[in-house]
Structure 1
Amino acid sequence: MRDYRKYKVWELGHEITLMVYQLTKDFPKHEIYGIVSQMRRAAYSIPSNIAEGCGRESDAEFKRFLIISQGSANELEYFTVLAQDLGYIENQIFSDLNNKVDRVRRSLNNLINKI
């Protein structure tokens, strides 16, 4: 069994999740069940799927959860674009978050290819 806390990609996913929670607390209240909920779910799905995959027995199962995590990162990227277009995120914060999401996607891709 793998220890998910030893993976840098998990650390980055957790960092992104904390960033998204902090960022979305200032979104309009009418978005709490809309984009706020969706962004948070996509964000925490990144590290949680890495953690779940680490608990699986085979490399194939681990890889499957990494691919799911990668899909969540893609989803989060879209929600950051939407939030910026709606005026909920400032350009610098958007850029920082988007860069981290891009890094986590590339890291996941590298890990997937190594398995």
Structure 2
Amino acid sequence: MAKISTHKELTVWQNAMDAAMRIFEVSRSFPVEEKYSMVDQMRRSSRSVAANLAEAWRKRRYEAAFVAKLNDAETEATEVQTWIELSLRCGYIDQKTATELDGTYEHIIGQLVTMIRQPAKWTLDQGPGGER
């Protein structure tokens, strides 16, 4: 694995940022009465996926803290999937858009689960020799 020096180099973080921007664009067409409820919640949770990944990256000295933040990112991604389904059921997005967005978040969740299952590949060694 190539050395990654910043969270911005993580493919999963890049995917989460792209997905959050897609949610932003899609939610712009939602009804005005949803501005402070569904739109706000959907955007917040989509942005939180990338934010929790960034926090996890900074906490990688401590495996438990790293995994906890990745779990938070996974939870937020699943929340976005719920908002996508509600948006579809309310008629704010079509089936094609819902399927595309849900698939994007399913892929991100898969990437997160891979990291959660193999934290030693991502965390820093704090043994006698210090960081790896």
The alignment covers a number of residue pairs equal to 115
Return the alpha-carbon distance in structure 2 between the equivalents of residues 41 and 5 of structure 1: 19
Return the alpha-carbon distance in structure 2 between the equivalents of residues 87 and 30 of structure 1: 14
* 1:60 lines up with 2:64 in the alignment: yes
For residues 26-41 of structure 1, what are the structure 2 equivalents within 5 Å? 26-41=29-44
Of 112, 120, 125, the residue aligned with 1:108 is 112
* 1:89 lines up with 2:93 in the alignment: yes
Secondary structure, counterpart of 1:17 in structure 2 = helix
Q: Which runs of 5 or more residues in structure 1 are unaligned?
A: none
Q: Which has the higher contact order (CA 8 A, sep 6+)?
A: 1
TM-score, length-normalised on structure 2? Answer: 0.84
Whichever structure has more helix as a proportion of its residues is: 1
Return the alpha-carbon distance in structure 2 between the equivalents of residues 85 and 16 of structure 1: 20
Return the alpha-carbon distance in structure 2 between the equivalents of residues 51 and 31 of structure 1: 29
Q: Greater Rg, structure 1 or structure 2? A: 2
Give aligned-pair identity as a percent: 23
| Match of residue 7 from structure 1 | 10
Of 20, 36, 44, the residue aligned with 2:47 is 44
Q: Which runs of structure 1 show a deviation greater than 3 angstroms over 4 or more consecutive aligned residues?
A: none
Letter in 2 for 1:82: L
Q: Which runs of 5 or more residues in structure 2 are unaligned?
A: 120-132
Alignment RMSD (CA, Å): 1.2
What is the CA distance between 1:59 and its match in structure 2?
2.1
